[in-house]
Amino acid sequence: MNRETTNNVASIPTDSPGVLVFPPALPLGTVLLSILLNLMRPLHFPPMAWMKVAGGLLFILGACLAAWGRVTMMRAGTNVPPHKPTLAIVTDGPFRFTRNPLYFGGTAAYLGLSLGFNLVWAFILLAPMLFLLEWGIVRREERYLEKKFGETYLVYKARVPRWL
């Protein structure tokens, strides 16, 4: 292993994108924050029956997409957690349609919970959550993959949209 010492501190080069937050913690933490805010200052849309049905369907579809993406990555023999090295560019399964099925599915599940449980605060926090997801996770991962896989990733990136 290549070790470098800078200012008397041993630093070990890492093979990871250096995301700002563990990705599943972002939507989960945002939902929990919205529940806390709702307890302190309740905000609700006028309740309508379709909201629970649509929210439930959106949650299930989002969770299924994220699970499909995770299983596809595992079958391809690459690591799922972003703090571990990416071992391969995965281009089959849901990765044929979106470069980020786990994040897209997680966001859909988040919206489903928000709608199903009438969490107005979750909709208010959606923009900051998506900003952190985009700039603190996705863009870092893309830079990492471009650097690590070069042309292979660039061709995939040109062919498949980031979201949909």
Digit-coded pLDDT (tens) for 68-103: 999 999 999 999 999 999 999 999 999 999 999 999
pTM of the predicted model over 0.85: yes
Report DSSP letters for 20-61, one per residue.
SS-TTHHHHHHHHHHHHHHHHS---PPP-HHHHHHHHHHHHH
At a CB cut-off of 8 Å and minimum separation 6, what does 108 contact? Answer: 58, 59, 61, 62, 65
Q: Predicted confidence band at 7 (pLDDT cuts at 50, 70, 90)? A: very low
Residue 149 · residue 85 · CB < 8 Å: no
pLDDT per position as a tens digit, 36-45: 999 999 999 9
